[in-house]
Copies of this chain bind each other. A is one copy, B any other.
């Protein structure tokens, strides 16, 4: 390979102009954006993306799941396509970096390669996947792309089924078109996604960029402690069987357990409820959810078992009964070793301080990993804010990430 590709860099001013133009679509006025999947603002952002791609001579297409693509035939005849992408939808009142940065850096990569008139090993495609955030049905676009979605899935969206049907009609999508959107895996060379970290690990380290090693798996336990409802004034402290004490103890001790024994994992209690829920009645039932994530299936299983043991121990200590219901889970997904190596080499060439990192959030890359070599690049999130208008990544870091994406794409995986 000649040195010409190695010297290529993204055009920071052009990328900044596009970033600002995109952030204005669905802008919330406080620095954030509101672009729920298939809503008016999201559809406007997608049209803008295709217009930008066409304006610089790229071909564009929209598949049956609404995935929007710009393509550049820069590989040999019948070469597979390296996909670069992310998503243009946001959570309600989200930030302007999440998803958008990855799509814009992909578009910029195609434009730089086109302007340099490079011949690569693969064709390139910048892709904007539908509903990554799960406004209606999380990862709809990538699940359809990989053939992993069924009619049953479409009949049971995460959100309101009626709103989903309306949104599909609005976007010109049908159940049939979505189920027919699967791409032939043999035509796909790989998938690489640039994304903000959404956490505080890079921000508080001395590193510029992270090579993502895996997307963590997730499990949930719905835990109910059962004691005895009593008049809170007449029952002595010693005689109470207070379900709330069990729940509170587990909220504290589950955090301690994870920090002491599962350093790569996290646990959260985001929901709790005491019943009957009266100020003057000792709680008979106390419900809470433990949501925990681990980078490897083995860790996820061990952590799940340890949390169950802990939940039972807290119950025994307080003479409470406990019920544990295991809810839906997501398996951990390893990023492809060759893709990781390509990203690491690109960062090395650019002189960036890099580290390896798991992704605590879900991404289309974990879906794509089922059909092709997939990987991710993370750039720092200032103070770790995510899914909020306060989400922020320094422009220098955005450019570092875009250049790593470009370099990995031109050298290939």
Whether B271 and A236, one on each chain, are in contact in the complex, defined by CB atoms closer than 8 angstroms, is: no
Give every chain B residue within 8 A of A238 (Cβ-Cβ). Answer: 259
Are the C-beta atoms of A270 and B259 separated by less than 8 Å? no
Q: How large is the interface on A (under 10, 10 to 19, 20 to 34, 35 or more residues)?
A: 35 or more
User: Which chain B residue has the least Cβ–Cβ distance from A362?
Assistant: B233
Contact of A274 among B258, B266, B272, B359 (CB under 8 A): B272
Interface presence of A56 (CB below 8 A): no
Chain B residues near A251 (CB-CB < 8 A): 244-245, 247-248
Interface presence of A360 (CB below 8 A) = yes
Provided the pairs A255-B245, A387-B231 are in contact, do residues A199 and B279 lie with their beta carbons within 8 angstroms? no
Q: Which of A255, A272, A289, A362 has the largest count of B CB atoms less than 10 A from its CB?
A: A272
Contacts of A218 in B (CB 8 A): 233
From the candidates B229, B231, B291, name the one contacting A199 in the complex (CB within 8 A). Answer: B231
Which residues of chain B are near A119, meaning CB under 8 Å?
Answer: none
User: Which of B249, B270, B274, B359 lies in contact with A282, CB distance below 8 A?
Assistant: B270
Which residues of A, 256-280, contact B by the 8 Å Cβ criterion? 258-259, 266-274, 276-280
Given contacts A234-B197, A239-B199, A384-B235, contact A220 B279 (CB under 8 A): yes
Q: Contact flags (1/0) for A373-399 with B, using CB distance below 8 Å?
A: 000000001001111100000000000
- A201 interface residue, CB < 8 Å from B? yes
Cβ–Cβ contact B234 & A386, under 8 A: yes
Are B231 and A200 touching (Cβ within 8 A)? Answer: no
Q: Which residues of B contact A386 (CB under 8 A)?
A: 230-231, 234-235
Taking a contact as CB atoms under 8 Å apart, the answer to whether A271 and B269 are in contact is: no
Contact yes or no, A278 B271, CB < 8 A:
yes
Are B266 and A270 in contact (CB-based, < 8 A)? no
Q: How many copies does the complex hold?
A: 2
Q: Does A237 reach chain B (CB closer than 8 Å)?
A: yes
Which residue in B229, B235, B384 is a CB contact (below 8 Å) of A234? B384
Taking the nearest CB of chain B, how far is it from the CB of A27, in angstroms? 21
Q: Distance in Å from the Cβ of A293 to the closest Cβ of chain B?
A: 5
Interface residues of A in 181-208 (CB under 8 A from B): 197-201, 204
Residues of A in contact with B (beta carbons under 8 Å apart): 197-201, 204, 216, 218, 220, 229-239, 242, 244-245, 247-249, 251-252, 255, 258-259, 266-274, 276-283, 289, 291, 293, 359-362, 381, 384-388
**Known: A270-B277, A386-B230. Contact between A252 and B252, CB under 8 A?**
yes
- Contact yes or no, A200 B252, CB < 8 A: no
A266 touches B279 (CB 8 A): no
Residues in B whose Cβ lies below 8 Å from that of A361: 231, 233-234
Do B199 and A266 have beta carbons less than 8 Å apart? no
In the bound complex, residues from chain B placing their C-beta under 8 Å from that of A242 are 255, 268
Q: How far is the CB of A365 from chain B (nearest CB, A)?
A: 14
Instruction: Name the 3 nearest CB pairs between A and B, nearest first.
Output: A233-B360, A199-B234, A232-B268
CA distance A281 to B266 in the complex (A): 12
Query: Contact partner of A235 among B199, B270, B280, CB < 8 A?
Result: B199
| Alpha-carbon separation in the docked complex, A283 to B273 (Å) | 13
| Known contacts A244-B272, A274-B270, A361-B231, A201 near B236 by CB under 8 Å | yes
Given A231-B386, A234-B199, A234-B386: A280 and B270 interface contact (C-beta under 8 Å):
yes
Could you say which residues of chain B place their CB within 8 Å of the CB of A283? 269-270
Excluding A231-B360, A234-B360, A234-B361, 9 further A-B contacts by CB distance (< 8 Å) are: A199-B234, A229-B388, A232-B268, A237-B255, A237-B259, A237-B267, A247-B251, A249-B252, A281-B387
The contact sample of 21 A-B pairs, CB cut-off 8 A, is: A199-B231, A200-B235, A216-B233, A220-B279, A231-B387, A232-B266, A232-B291, A232-B293, A232-B360, A234-B360, A234-B381, A248-B269, A249-B252, A252-B252, A268-B279, A268-B282, A269-B283, A270-B274, A270-B281, A271-B277, A272-B272
